[in-house]
């Protein structure tokens, strides 16, 4: 059981000399086990994306530690796959070759990477689109290719930075159900950065609210709507439960807390 943990992590941007460092995150402690689905929400400027960049290893914390099973994270690695807000696909490769790239970089033989890529494309409902060019796909399809590519590398953790932000509402709803299915099948620990309260609430086993200036955890609560959906409950029924609506109000209150100040 792998655990990705951030312990007492602080982050500041700015040159060591000259201008005063700009604090972005302050004393954030968070842990993500395989099988968890943790969402991070907060207003813009609360350091959500910085948090993900720390978990991915793109940034190093100014203080505190990011570690996996006690080993400190020193950079990005194949155990933590990232899904980017802009799909970050490679337009010079076909759909299937995009998904197969992590396996190619890992030195897997051609037949194996082809088979794995096809498997994950099928899992994201893109069977039959393997040979297409990236620019022939819609925004939702591109994000699914990005998710398939992330999962193809067989990661322990799936880190997603507002992957659905640019999609329309109906596409998002379908993507939520797909994400839950993939999370369940891949047994990854998912970390989702989002600005949608409903999305966070429906998908996550735990939602973390970041308060801005500098970003710190102001609220955290555990939920089971995603797991109940996987067990076969109807998503619309789940989202209209009194408990769901009350939880949404608690989260919204936490996000907009002290906004007047």
178 binds other proteins (CB under 8 A): yes
Helices (H), the chain: 48-56, 95-105, 110-123, 139-152, 169-186, 197-203, 225-230, 235-239, 242-255
86 binds other proteins (CB under 8 A): yes
List the structure tokens of 153: 């590398």
Pick one of 23, 35, 77, 235: the residue that binds other proteins (CB under 8 A).
77
Pick one of 14, 58, 243, 253: the residue that binds other proteins (CB under 8 A).
58
Using DSSP, state whether 16 is helix, strand or coil: coil
Burial of 238 (C-beta count, 10 Å sphere; 0-12/13-18/19+): middle
Size of the site for other proteins (CB under 8 A): 38
Minimum CB–partner distance for residue 84 and other proteins (Å): 5
- φ, ψ (nearest 5 deg) of residue 98: -65, -45
Length of the chain: 261
Residues in 28-57 at the binding interface with other proteins, rule: CB under 8 A: 56-57
- Contact stretch for other proteins (CB under 8 A) within 102-110, 190-198, 199-207, 226-234: 102-110
Residues in 112-141 at the binding interface with other proteins, rule: CB under 8 A: 125, 133-138, 140-141
- Contact stretch for other proteins (CB under 8 A) within 38-46, 111-119, 172-180, 200-208: 172-180
Residue 214: asked if its preceding bond is cis (omega within 30°), the reply is: yes
Residues in 215-254 at the binding interface with other proteins, rule: CB under 8 A: none
- Contact stretch for other proteins (CB under 8 A) within 61-69, 82-90, 186-194, 218-226: 82-90
Minimum CB–partner distance for residue 141 and other proteins (Å): 7
110 binds other proteins (CB under 8 A): no
Please give the Cα distance from 261 to 197 (Å, whole number): 22
> In which element (H, E) is residue 159 found?
strand 157-161
């Amino acid at each position: 059981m792998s655990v990705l943990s951030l312990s007492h992590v602080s982050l500041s941007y700015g040159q060591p000399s000259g201008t005063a460092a700009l604090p972005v995150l302050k004393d954030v402690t968070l842990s993500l086990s395989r099988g968890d689905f943790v969402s991070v929400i907060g207003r813009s400027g609360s350091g959500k994306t910085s948090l993900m960049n720390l978990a991915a290893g793109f940034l190093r914390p100014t203080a505190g530690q990011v570690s996996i099973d006690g080993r400190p994270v020193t950079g990005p690695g194949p155990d933590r796959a990232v899904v980017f807000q802009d799909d970050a696909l490679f337009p010079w490769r076909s759909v299937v070759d995009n998904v197969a790239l992590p396996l190619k970089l890992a030195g897997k033989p051609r037949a194996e990477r082809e088979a794995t890529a096809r498997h994950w494309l099928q899992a994201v409902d893109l069977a039959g689109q393997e040979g297409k060019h990236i620019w022939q796909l819609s925004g939702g399809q591109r994000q699914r290719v990005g998710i398939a590519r992330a999962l193809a590398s067989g990661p322990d953790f799936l880190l997603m930075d507002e992957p659905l932000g640019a999609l329309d509402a109906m596409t998002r709803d379908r993507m939520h159900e797909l994400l839950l299915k993939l999370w369940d099948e891949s047994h990854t620990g998912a970390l989702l950065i989002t600005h949608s309260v409903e999305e966070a609430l429906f998908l996550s086993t735990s939602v973390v609210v970041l308060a801005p200036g500098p970003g710190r955890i102001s609220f955290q609560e555990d939920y089971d709507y995603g797991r109940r959906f996987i067990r076969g409950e109807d998503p619309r029924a789940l989202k209209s439960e009194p408990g769901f609506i009350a939880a949404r109000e608690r989260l919204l209150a936490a996000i907009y807390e002290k906004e007047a100040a």
